[in-house]
Amino acid sequence: MKIEDVVCPFCGCLCDDLVVEVEGTRVVNVENGCTLANEKFMGDHRLKAPIRRAGNGWEAVSYDEAIEETAAILLDADRPLLYGWSGTYGEAQSVGVHLAELLGAVIDNTSTVCHGPSIMAIQEVGHPGCTLGQVKNRADVVVYWAANPIEAHPRHMSRYTTFCDGFFVKSAFRERKVVVVDVRETDSSQVADEFVKVNPGGDYAVLSALRAIVRGKRDLIPPSVEGVSREQLFRVADLCMSAKFGAIFFGVGLTMAQGKNKNIRNAIELTEELNRHTKFTISPMRGHWNVYGSNEVFTWITGYPYAVDFARGIAFYNPGETTSVDILRRGECDACLVVASDPGAHFPRACAEHLARIPTVQIDPHVNATTHLSRIQIPVAVTGIDAEGTAYRMDGVPIRTRRLFYGNYPDDLEVLEKIYRIVREARG
Amino acid sequence: MAGILIKNAFVIDPLSGIKGEVMDIAIKNGKIVEEEPPGAEVIDAGGCLTLPGGIDSHSHVCGTKVNFGRYMSPEDMRAGRTARKGVMHVTSGYSVPTTFGNSYRYSTMGYTTILEGAMAPLEARHTHEEFNATPHQDMLANTLFDGNWSIMEAVREKDIARAAAVVAWVLAAAKGFAIKLTNPGGTEAWGWGEDVQSIHDPVPRFGVTPAEIISTMIRANEILNLPHSVHLHCNNLGVPGNYQTTLDTIDLAPDLNSKRQSLYLTHVQFHSYGGSTWRDICSKSEDITRAVNNRPQVVMDMGQIMFGRTTTMTADGPMEFKLYMLHHNKWSNHDVELETGSGIIPVYYGRKSLVNCVMWSIGLELALLTRNPWQCLLSTDSPNGAPFVKYPEIIALLMSRRFRENERRMIDPRTEHFVPLFAIERELDWYEIAVMTRAAQAKALGITCIGKGYMAPGAEADVAIFPIMPDKVDPSVDFQQVMAGFSRTRYTIKRGRVVARDGEVVVEGANSTIWTKAHVPDAYDMSLDPEFQKKFEQYYTVRMSNYPVQDVYLPRGVRIDTEAQL
Amino acid sequence: MNFLLNTGRTIAQGSTVERKNSTKYCEEASAVSMNPVDMFELMVEQGDRVRVKSRAGEVVMWVRPDPGLVRGKVFVCLGPYANHLVGPETHGTGMPDFKSTPVSIEPTDDPVPSVAMLMRECGGVPYED
């Protein structure tokens, strides 16, 4: 059976034009997808049933037992951490937030090690952005800053920017200039009209230099700023100021490098200054599929996009304190529920060590690094393949994924609701 | 459910012609009924003011830009937070509360129905998700068409029928309720960093004017027989001298519908400025209300501002950028492809700012100078003028000249030279307040047909009982009591169930989402139209099949069906 | 030799991210990319193993050349190998220094551990599927 207009559940692009062929409970072919999509849909490496650690080995366990034990672990904890959420859909995230509320837990999503600093910057200066179609139809200048879309968001350039014609830009290839700013050459920098190579950690200074130029203070610019020549800075600034519609996309190269949220703040303020001359927008390249959805769901329920601490009864938010890496670094949480992400692989070693010390439970379809650190893993249906729900694209556009077939796994919502009911019964 | 009998209620029910009578109200199966149901729970209202559930016909509570207002404002989230208590979830936020925060606060003020003022169709799914997390009010969504390419193309072709067909398809796809135009044409221009300056300015690259868009949509609206009229946020919001644009717009409004207005103008306070700069801005409320008083086909809401901190948010992207250039606080913008825009900035309205004092006066003047309360509804364009929790204070100001005089002493003393407010003696009465906060909303939105806004048998049992004894309170003097009374109902009843008591929500809610489906002949089914399909094939970034909001997002949807005259 | 470690996404990492016990994932996540001139100075060739140390920890990886990198900088895709080296300090931002960890690198004959072995070092119990 061929299913059209399927939504890809891998990255923040949420491409919704895939054609997927299904035989029974197996995907046999994917059209229009990138390599990542193909691997995601065709991948057949799921954990077969719930597992529980038994001494120095593992044993199979029933879903009911795994769920009851998970609830017991959470109920027994003084300071549980509920982490992950980006790989699942909004309805499940919503139950997660209410579970955290009931437990007085900390709940955090993967933006904490992704675009968390972007959120902090947006909270300082705001965010002039737009939906991706606005860029596709209008932009004559696109800047990728500290982002490598060809590796991380493989169809971003062909669906929305470099290679994508739009209503007002009939021939993107000819009419649209692409600038790539990065500390290293990448596949993406090779397709750029202008590649700006910045010294590692130099982004803040380069952004400041561009702001100065946009403000008409060219005479302040030294011959070279963090490895970028004055001439190139002038050229890039002129290109941006003469654009009819410019769009900056930035990656975690800015959020993770020295300066972190201050880099993003500077980039947003550059965008704001450019708006005094022409139209400019800026957008984070959200990586892990529905991470933006987790920000949205957390926000409408708690008021904050991530790192929400319910320990005091109210929702409390203080990145740097209530963020997962910091809580784990301080050895503060005494139980952890991981849903749809892999902190074992993606957090610093010291955090992984604490996850191994405390009872950690993982709800995830696949064996990953966190599996080895956990006490229990509950496999679930893969969102976008055998589970459906709402996801938010990197630009905030909500799309409902399709369920391609009914498999044998329960989905995240079902498992989380069962845990919630047990906890609610106990906590009232 | 055995039902409820409310005894000794001091009832004002304008749509039923009840202007203040002590009587009993019987409720069964979620409806008002004639006869007391056997075994009914008895609520003794003890002569307290009892009104139909409040209806807000223009508020920003759910959706992409509202949530972004929360997302970017931890300082606002901290400014209003409550812990989980009983059935109530944690809430955060003062001017942009979380969805549960909105729902609980509205409910304890007696509100049972809210219209979200602006929903971009492309992002409608988000609005509906938040509607489901706003459990104590029935929700409706104004659907944005101000920069819709298919609409502007139909306007350019002078093809009203096609414009109507586009509206029908989009409303059904977005599960929207009514047509909203926000700075028509201006939001498309903002796609290039531009704006339109009058209703006759052409929209860049489309060659249509705001006036043409407005006129076409008013007629398309009536062709589709939609319950509400076109809901318009005029061009030039917040610009000194903009009253002329507003008057020009009012002149466009034909009288096409015998049951309700043909044009709804929202937050008119922001559109009633004289002068030419921020230095000589003055009130033109007299000109605006004169025009409205002469045109029964126009209804407006106040858009009152109140002093203090709040967050402005609107689909009017260019206006927010202009406002940012004045405030230099923080600015968010979110343009939506082929449809509309939006912007957000936090603001502080100060008693020491002459401009803010003039704005404050204008809102009140609009309500006091509009002869017919059915034509001027109470609103703050929440949270743009102030968060909705300020409504009780606004009611008190409208009911008490003494209260207004007290305020006069606290604001910029130059204000009185720029506004007529302090020469106005009128004090609104209970009946007029009841009209302006529920009955007129129900009529203007066209939702009396589904039992909203009144308490006659057959109506939805949405009732608010306030701790106010109208025969013992003189609102002209006891304005503090009026304010306190409207802030916290004794009982809020929603669809026959007590949902809030004395400031606390007591049950988990289960709201409905009200939307409109206009049935059109197959020849006008846009999903079969090649030009329309091309928009999705080539210009949208979402496939046509993934665009419509699925039924699963409206677990308790109430669909209003209409037949188009096409 | 001292280097500055950068991390990020790669297609191969993304393609194997749901098979973290696989050799393919291990190969990609444990590859340290280096400027060829640095490789020459370190006297290692493509596929040779190196021990990478930081203040936070140490791990054995294998080398591959990348002329797109400037000298003194190395790149490892995000994952458990890179994170064996990244410290947990976030400077009050919640975000570790994923893009700038000072490391020292020396040739070694020791084997590259599997992901499961790395997690055992962190205190976990390997699960073999």
The complex's ipTM works out to 0.97
The answer to whether the Cβ–Cβ distance between A101 and B82 falls below 8 Å is no
| Number of Cβ atoms within 10 Å of the Cβ of A116 | 31
A247 exposure class (CB count in 10 Å sphere: 0-12, 13-18, 19+): buried
Which residue of chain A has the CA closest to C26? Answer: A369
Give the neighbours of chain B: at least 3 Cβ pairs within 8 Å: A
Q: With beta carbons less than 8 A apart as the criterion, state whether A126 and A329 touch.
A: no
Which residues are CB-contacts of A89 (< 8 A; sequence separation ≥ 6)? Answer: A290, A293, A383, A387, A388, A389, A390, A391, A401, A412, A413
pLDDT in tens, A388-417: 999 999 999 999 999 999 999 999 999 999
What DSSP designation does A200 have?
T
pLDDT confidence tier of residue B126, bands split at 50, 70 and 90: very high
Cα-based distances in Å from B171 to B63, B144, B337: 16, 10, 17
- When pLDDT is averaged across residues B165-176 and rounded to a whole number, the result is 98
Q: Does A287 touch chain C (CB under 8 A)?
A: yes
**CATH entry, B4-52+454-505, from 2.30.40.10, 3.20.20.140, 3.40.50.10800, 2.40.10.340:** 2.30.40.10
Q: Tokens 């190969």 sit at which residue?
A: C27
pLDDT in tens, A290-300: 999 999 999 99
Q: How far apart are CA A46 and CA C20, in angstroms?
A: 11
- In this complex, the residue of C66, C93, C122 whose CB is nearest that of residue A353 is C122
Parallel, antiparallel, or unpaired: how do β-strands A106-109 and A308-309 relate? Answer: antiparallel
Measured between beta carbons, the chain A residues lying within 8 angstroms of B205 are 168
A257 exposure class (CB count in 10 Å sphere: 0-12, 13-18, 19+): buried
Tell me, yes or no, whether C78 lies in a domain. Answer: yes
The answer to whether the Cβ–Cβ distance between B337 and A94 falls below 8 Å is no
The answer to whether the Cβ–Cβ distance between C93 and A154 falls below 8 Å is no
Which residue of chain A has the CA closest to C97? Answer: A256
Tell me, yes or no, whether C111 lies in a domain. Answer: yes
Residues in chain A: 428
Q: Does A301 touch chain B (CB under 8 A)?
A: yes
Parallel, antiparallel, or unpaired: how do β-strands A398-400 and A51-54 relate? Answer: unpaired
Cα-based distances in Å from A244 to A21, A130, A170, A218, A278: 42, 15, 14, 22, 6
Q: How far apart are CA C54 and CA B49, in angstroms?
A: 73
Q: How far apart are CA A48 and CA A296, in angstroms?
A: 32
Q: How far apart are CA B322 and CA B328, in angstroms?
A: 10
What DSSP designation does A226 have?
T
pLDDT in tens, C39-90: 999 999 999 999 999 999 999 999 999 999 999 999 999 999 999 999 999 9
Angle at the Cα of A313 (from A307 to A317), degrees rounded to 5?
Answer: 25
Measured between beta carbons, the chain A residues lying within 8 angstroms of C97 are 256, 258
Domain residue extents for chain B: 4-52+454-505, 149-449
The answer to whether the Cβ–Cβ distance between B546 and A400 falls below 8 Å is yes
Parallel, antiparallel, or unpaired: how do β-strands B18-28 and A390-392 relate? Answer: unpaired
Ordered DSSP codes for B203-253: PTTT---HHHHHHHHHHHHHHTT-SS-EEEE-SSTT-TTTHHHHHHHHHT-
Residues 234-273 of A with CB under 8 A from B: 244-245, 272
Q: How far apart are CA C40 and CA C48, in angstroms?
A: 12
DSSP E strands in A121-240: the ranges are 128-130, 141-145, 177-182, 194-197, 224-225, 228-229
What DSSP designation does C34 have?
E
Q: Does A113 touch chain C (CB under 8 A)?
A: yes
- CA A284, A135, B317, A212 torsion: positive or negative? positive
Q: Coil, strand or helix: which one is B398?
A: helix
- A–B CB contacts, 8 A cutoff, strictly below: 178
CA atoms in the 13 A half-sphere facing the CB of C39: 19
- In this complex, the residue of C56, C75, C127 whose CB is nearest that of residue A371 is C127
Instruction: Please give, rounded to a whole number of angstroms, the shortest distance from the CA of A27 to a CA of chain C.
Output: 16
Q: Does A138 touch chain B (CB under 8 A)?
A: yes
Q: What CATH number is associated with residue C98? A: 2.40.40.20
Whether the per-residue pLDDT at A44 is higher than 90: the answer is no
Q: Tokens 């990953």 sit at which residue?
A: A368
Domain residue extents for chain A: 48-114+289-427, 116-284
Q: With beta carbons less than 8 A apart as the criterion, state whether A350 and C120 touch.
A: no
Residue B130 sits at φ, ψ, to 5 deg, of -70, -35
Measured between beta carbons, the chain A residues lying within 8 angstroms of C80 are 344-345, 352, 369
Tell me, yes or no, whether C128 lies in a domain. Answer: no
pLDDT confidence tier of residue B1, bands split at 50, 70 and 90: low
Tell me what percent of the residues of chain A surpass a pLDDT of 70: 100
pLDDT confidence tier of residue A19, bands split at 50, 70 and 90: very high
| Number of Cβ atoms within 10 Å of the Cβ of A150 | 21
Q: Tokens 């027989």 sit at which residue?
A: B225
Q: How far apart are CA B123 and CA B328, in angstroms?
A: 28
Q: How far apart are CA B99 and CA B487, in angstroms?
A: 19
Q: How far apart are CA A10 and CA A231, in angstroms?
A: 40
Measured between beta carbons, the chain C residues lying within 8 angstroms of A204 are none
Measured between beta carbons, the chain C residues lying within 8 angstroms of A366 are 18-20
Q: How far apart are CA B101 and CA B497, in angstroms?
A: 20
Residues 179-218 of B with CB under 8 A from A: 190-193, 205
Which residues are CB-contacts of B325 (< 8 A; sequence separation ≥ 6)? Answer: none
Residue B25 sits at φ, ψ, to 5 deg, of -125, 130
Residue B333 sits at φ, ψ, to 5 deg, of -140, 145
pLDDT in tens, B59-68: 999 999 999 9
Whether the per-residue pLDDT at A428 is higher than 80: the answer is no
Which residue of chain A has the CA closest to C100? Answer: A257
Tell me, yes or no, whether C126 lies in a domain. Answer: no
Number of domains in chain C: 1
Q: How far apart are CA B523 and CA B517, in angstroms?
A: 17
- When pLDDT is averaged across residues C90-100 and rounded to a whole number, the result is 96
The answer to whether the Cβ–Cβ distance between B89 and A98 falls below 8 Å is yes
CATH class of the structural domain A48-114+289-427: alpha beta
The answer to whether the Cβ–Cβ distance between A47 and C16 falls below 8 Å is no
Nearest to A257 by CA among A330, A323, A324, A184: A184
DSSP E strands in B125-217: the ranges are 138-144, 178-182
Q: Does C4 touch chain A (CB under 8 A)?
A: yes
Q: Is B479 left (phi over 0), alpha (psi -120 to 50) or beta?
A: alpha
Residue C129: its pLDDT value, please? 79
Q: Does B534 touch chain A (CB under 8 A)?
A: no
* Helical residues (DSSP H) of B272-328, grouped into ranges: 285-293, 317-327
Ordered DSSP codes for A231-271: HHHHHHHHHHHT-SEEEEEE-HHHHSSTTTHHHHHHHHHHH
Q: Does B129 touch chain A (CB under 8 A)?
A: yes
Helix-then-strand count for chain C, H and E? 5, 6
Torsion of the alpha carbons at C14, C19, C25 and C30, rounded to the nearest 10: 100
- When pLDDT is averaged across residues A316-345 and rounded to a whole number, the result is 98
* Helical residues (DSSP H) of C16-62, grouped into ranges: 23-29, 36-42
pLDDT in tens, A342-361: 999 999 999 999 999 999 99
The answer to whether the Cβ–Cβ distance between A260 and C78 falls below 8 Å is no
Measured between beta carbons, the chain B residues lying within 8 angstroms of A399 are 125, 542, 546
Q: Does A129 touch chain C (CB under 8 A)?
A: no
Q: With beta carbons less than 8 A apart as the criterion, state whether C96 and C112 touch.
A: no
Q: With beta carbons less than 8 A apart as the criterion, state whether A125 and A268 touch.
A: yes
The answer to whether the Cβ–Cβ distance between A353 and C123 falls below 8 Å is yes
pLDDT in tens, B314-352: 999 999 999 999 988 999 999 999 999 999 999 999 999
Residues 9-48 of A with CB under 8 A from B: 16-17
The answer to whether the Cβ–Cβ distance between B330 and A313 falls below 8 Å is no
| Number of Cβ atoms within 10 Å of the Cβ of B555 | 12
Q: Which tokens go with B289?
A: 């209300």
| Number of Cβ atoms within 10 Å of the Cβ of A129 | 26
pLDDT in tens, B191-230: 999 999 999 999 999 999 999 999 999 999 999 999 999 9
Give the neighbours of chain A: at least 3 Cβ pairs within 8 Å: B, C
Q: Does A300 touch chain B (CB under 8 A)?
A: yes
- Fold of the domain built from segment(s) A116-284: Dimethylsulfoxide Reductase; domain 2 (3.40.228)
Whether the per-residue pLDDT at B2 is higher than 90: the answer is no
CA atoms in the 13 A half-sphere facing the CB of A245: 26
| Number of Cβ atoms within 10 Å of the Cβ of B499 | 28
pLDDT confidence tier of residue B310, bands split at 50, 70 and 90: very high
- CA B454, B458, B463, B468 torsion: positive or negative? positive
| Number of Cβ atoms within 10 Å of the Cβ of B416 | 15
Q: Is A107 left (phi over 0), alpha (psi -120 to 50) or beta?
A: beta
- When pLDDT is averaged across residues B116-127 and rounded to a whole number, the result is 98
Angle at the Cα of A262 (from C77 to A219), degrees rounded to 5?
Answer: 110
Residue A173: its pLDDT value, please? 87
Q: Could you tell me the residue range of the domain that residue C38 belongs to?
A: 2-121
